[in-house]
């Protein structure tokens, strides 16, 4: 089966203290063999994985889980489904009225090998992507990284960051402008926090990627630019004339310390 690389002779994944035994993942993919291998591998790491073979069944599973109060912690979504396009399903989820569904972390799988597809997926709100074929160990690492970013925002004593009309509540993982909550994905919120915590300092794309993923920037990976664009659309009065996240040409980005003085 060509969608997952063989894991070799290793004994399988080791349990991680980052991931609770009860964390639930929904996999929406029409490849039954891939689903079986992914479920077995992730189960060894402490995940509970449910599989849906198409978009309709996947949405039903998401709504059913939400209605029971035991929603999923993460969604693995294939780009090519028999009854829908994965990109459209991602767009639909990000527009859901249910805040739990709208903020559900999404890792997209794609066999197309097209950089444009990955960028569009990120623009629509996916938190990460992985090309097929992939090694299950890499999938596990990416899932843990996405969930780690969410865990960093667990309730605690971290004070909100305030910049003019913008409030960044790191404990609740919410960004507000004039008291109105602005919808952000987990990856976008973490990027916002990374920028805001270094307000006034220029950060390169490589530095930002290392903060978010804990590893070096992949070749030709433009996901930082994509997420900055989404942040501007959500937080700026005019995304074409940004006051909060400024581009330093040829270097990276700087989060402005003073943002709303001149309006």
Q: Which residue in this structure is represented by tokens 């996916």?
A: 126
User: What is the reported pLDDT for 9?
Assistant: 37
Residue-wise pLDDT tens digits, 112-141? 666 777 777 777 888 888 888 899 999 999
What is the pLDDT of the chain when averaged over all its residues? 83
* Band (2; pLDDT cuts 50, 70, 90): very low
CATH class for the region spanning 161-255: mainly alpha
CATH 1.10.10.10 in the chain, residues? 161-255
Q: What does the alpha-carbon distance between residue 189 and residue 183 come to, in Å, rounded to a whole number?
A: 9
Residues of the chain with CATH 3.40.50.2300: 24-151
Q: How confident is the model at residue 218 (pLDDT cuts 50, 70, 90)?
A: very low
The pTM for the full model equals 0.61
Whole-Å CA distances, 178 to 142, 182, 213, 229, 260: 34, 10, 31, 20, 11
Q: What is the pLDDT of residue 82?
A: 95
Name the band, by pLDDT with cuts 50, 70 and 90, for residue 28. Answer: very high
Whole-number Å distance between alpha carbons of 225 and 248 = 12
Q: Range with the lowest mean pLDDT among 145-149, 178-182, 247-251, 255-259?
A: 145-149
- Phi, psi (deg, nearest 5) at residue 10: -65, 160
- What average pLDDT does range 237-254 have in this prediction? 94
Please tell me the predicted confidence (pLDDT) of residue 119. 78
Quick check: 8 pLDDT over 50?
Answer: no
Q: Of residues 152 and 226, which shows the higher confidence score?
A: 226
Contact 247, 255 (CB under 8 A): no
* Predicted local confidence at residue 256, as pLDDT: 94
Question: CA distances (Å), 45 to each of 16, 139, 161, 186, 231, in order?
Answer: 7, 12, 35, 22, 33
Instruction: Print burial letters for 140-169: b (CB count within 10 Å at least 16), e (below 16).
Output: bbbbbbbbbbbeebeeeeeeebebbbbbbb
Residue 141 confidence (pLDDT):
93
Q: Got the DSSP string for 191-235?
A: HHHHHHTTTTSEEEHHHHHHHHHSSPPPTT--HHHHHHHHHHHHH
pLDDT one-digit tens code per residue, 168-212? 998 788 999 999 999 888 878 889 999 999 999 999 988 887 777
For the domain covering 24-151, report its CATH number. 3.40.50.2300
Q: What percent of the chain has pLDDT over 70?
A: 82
């Amino acid at each position: 089966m060509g969608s997952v690389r063989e894991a070799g002779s290793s004994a399988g994944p080791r349990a991680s203290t980052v991931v609770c035994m009860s964390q639930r993942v929904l996999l929406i993919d029409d490849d039954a063999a891939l689903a079986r291998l992914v479920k077995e591998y992730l189960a060894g790491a402490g995940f509970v994985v449910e599989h849906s073979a198409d978009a309709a069944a996947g949405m039903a599973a998401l709504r059913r889980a939400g209605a029971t109060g035991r929603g999923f912690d993460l969604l693995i979504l294939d780009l090519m489904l028999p009854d829908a396009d994965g990109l459209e399903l991602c767009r639909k989820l990000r527009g859901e009225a249910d805040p739990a569904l709208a903020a559900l972390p999404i890792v997209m799988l794609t066999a197309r090998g097209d950089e444009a597809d990955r960028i569009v997926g990120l623009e629509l709100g996916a938190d990460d992507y992985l090309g097929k074929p992939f090694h299950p160990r890499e999938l596990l690492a990416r899932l843990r990284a996405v969930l780690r970013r969410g865990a960093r925002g667990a309730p605690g004593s971290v004070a909100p960051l305030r910049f003019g009309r913008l409030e960044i509540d790191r404990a609740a993982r919410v960004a507000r402008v004039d008291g109105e909550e602005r919808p952000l994905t987990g990856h976008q919120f973490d990027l916002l926090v990374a920028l805001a915590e270094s307000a006034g300092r220029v950060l390169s794309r490589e530095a930002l990627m290392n903060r978010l993923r804990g590893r070096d920037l992949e070749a030709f990976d433009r996901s930082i630019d994509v997420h900055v664009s989404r942040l501007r659309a959500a937080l700026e009065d005019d995304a074409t004339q940004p006051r909060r996240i400024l581009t330093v040409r040829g270097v990276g980005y700087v989060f402005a310390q003073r943002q709303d003085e001149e309006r």
